[in-house]
Each structure stands twice: as structure tokens, then as C-alpha cells.
Structure 1
Amino acid sequence: MNLLIRLLISTLAIVVASKLVPGVFVESWTTAAIVAIVLGILNTFLKPVLQILALPITILTLGIFYFVINVFIIYLATYLVDGFAISGFISALIFGLVVSVVSAILGMFLD
């Protein structure tokens, strides 16, 4: 049940971010749920590998490269999910930040 609630929170965060951030298109609520699932899978399995591989450049940039990894994960999700599009790097960066903030705020009510 907790997993289903987290999926609903992520879906809602993606829909909110798509309405707030220009250059982000999510076709429907179903597409947003699929994007939430795909982002969850990519963040679970691919992101740790990328963080380890990019650790030297992340240290050199004082952690700013971590945002580039987030944008890469979001771009990969746009490639994998039809009906989800992002127009540029800045839009993907802001989309990731908005999704994180909205998910954190809504997640506080879950705990």
C-alpha cells in the first residue's frame, strides 16, 4: 500500500511539474504514472552506477555534476516513454527540481 501511495505522489508531482515548467509535456495522467515508474526504476538501478562512475568530476565541480546526472536520467525517461517530452536542458533541470520538491512536500504527509 505504501508503494502505491508513493507512486501516486510521484505521479502528482510529475503532473504539477509539467504544468509549472515551460517546455515539459505530459500527455495524460496515465503517461505521468508511467513516467513515475520509469523514473523510479532508473533512479534505483542506473543512477547509483552513474554516480560512482562520475564521482571524480562530481568532486571537481563540488557536486554540481550531480544535476547533470539527474537531467540525463530525465532525458532517458523521455526517450523510453511516449507522450512525455522535454524541450531543453534547463527545462529538464527545473522539472527535476520541481518534482523533487513537490514529492518531498507531499511525502512529509505520508510519514
Structure 2
Amino acid sequence: MKFFARWLISALSIYIIAGLSIGVSVTSFKSTLVAAAILGIVNTIIKPILVILTLPINIMTLGLFTFIINGITLKITSSIVGGFDVKNIFAAVVASVLIGAVNLILTSLVGVKK
């Protein structure tokens, strides 16, 4: 049950940020649901590999390079999912920060815990 609640909250977060028109667009809520699922898979499989490969840069920037990695995972997701588009890496980084913030707010409002 918590899995589906977190998935819907992630999809809603993506949909809200796409509505702000900061370089992220979705065609339908269905594509948003698919994007949320694929983003979860990319964050589970590819993100740890990217973090390990960029560990020296991440240490030198005191962890701030993680924002770039999050943008890269969002851009990878947009290349996989049709109907979900991120224009450039800057928009992906800003959107990933905003999606994370909205996701945090919505999960605390709904009361879904990890």
C-alpha cells in the first residue's frame, strides 16, 4: 500500500513541477505515472553507479555534484519515457530539486513514511 502511495505522490510531484513550465513537460498523467516508475528504477539502479563513478568530484564539491547526478537521472528518464520531456540539463537539475521538495511536502502531508 505504501509503495503505491509513494508512487502516486512521486507522479503528482512530477506533474506539479511540469505545470510550472521550467523546461519540463508532460503530455498526460499516464505518462507522468510511467515517468515516476521509471525514475524510481533509474534512481535504484543507475544513480548508485553514477555516484561511485563521480565520487572524487562529489567529494571535492562537498556533495553538491549530487544535484547534477539527480538532473542526469531525470534526463535519462525523459529519454526513456515518451510524453515526458526535459529540455536541458539545467532544467533537469532545477526540476529534480523542486520535485524532491514537492515530494517531501506531499509525503509529510499524506503521512506516508519510508
Please indicate the TM-score interval, normalised by the length of the shorter structure.
Answer: over 0.9
Alpha-carbon shift at residue 21 of structure 1 (Å): 3.8
In the alignment of these two chains, the number of paired residues is 111
* 2:67/2:97 contact within 8 Å kept: no
Q: Could you tell which deviates more after superposition, 63-72 or 28-37?
A: 63-72
* 2:72/2:89 contact within 8 Å kept: no
Q: Distance in 2 between matches of 1:7 and 1:91?
A: 22
Q: Distance in 1 between matches of 2:57 and 2:22?
A: 30
Q: TM-score scaled to structure 1, two decimals?
A: 0.94
Q: Which runs of 5+ in 2 are unaligned?
A: none
Q: Distance in 1 between matches of 2:67 and 2:83?
A: 24
Q: TM-score scaled to structure 2, two decimals?
A: 0.91
Q: Distance in 2 between matches of 1:61 and 1:50?
A: 15
Runs of 4+ off more than 3 Å: none
| % identical equivalent positions | 37
* 2:7/2:36 contact within 8 Å kept: yes
Q: Which runs of 5+ in 1 are unaligned?
A: none
Question: What does the per-residue CA deviation read over 1:81-103, in whole Å, with 9 as the maximum and x for residues that have no partner?
Answer: 01111112221111101110111
Amino acid at match of 2:62: L
- Aligned to 1:110, the other structure's residue is in SS state coil
Q: Could you tell which deviates more after superposition, 57-66 or 23-32?
A: 57-66
Aligned pairs for 1:11-90 within 5 A = 11-90=11-90
* 2:23/2:88 contact within 8 Å kept: yes
